[in-house]
Amino acid sequence: MTKKVILLGKFGVGKTSLISQFVHNKFSEQYLTTIGVKIDKKVINIDGTELSMIIWDIAGESSQAKVPDNYKLGSHGVFFVFDVTRPSTYEHMQSELELIRALIPDAPIKILANKADLIASENLNDLTSSFDQDILLCSAKTGQNVEEAFYQLGLKML
């Protein structure tokens, strides 16, 4: 079974790093801007079902309204990624999610709070409890919850 997964979020939130950690078990401190879209693939096993994830790393924009719709269309699952150290990457999250849901209403959305390794755990708990969404704390650098995030989204897509 093959499913298209997209990662959305502002520039510099770690979308490329999350994919690199998930697909290649690698992290780089070097920041490289994604231009357009970069596509990777990884096959995972979910409760005996082989799921081939075609992962679209979409360039970060200041708003999801600026991301071309054709990048999002046909998606079976979405990661919305924000950076816990930069409030500007999540302060308009609700309206950003509404845009995504309007375009691809049947695709499950998993919200990832990336760079959890850079903030004290008590501050992270305060941050995530301030949202009325199910948010998964993760770190592309340490690998914290990266596999779990893709597994959870895969489960929802099946």
CA 82 – CA 90 distance, rounded (Å):
6
E strand or H helix that includes residue 100: helix 93-103
pLDDT reported for residue 132 = 66
d(CA 54, CA 150): 12
pLDDT at 133 over 90: no
pTM over 0.85: yes
- Domains of the chain are 2-157 (3.40.50.300)
pLDDT of residue 49: 95
70 pLDDT tier (thresholds 50, 70, 90):
confident
Encode pLDDT of 79-111 as tens digits.
999 999 999 999 989 998 999 999 999 999 999
Contacts of 7 (CB under 8 A, 6+ apart): 15, 18, 19, 55, 56, 57, 58, 78, 79, 81
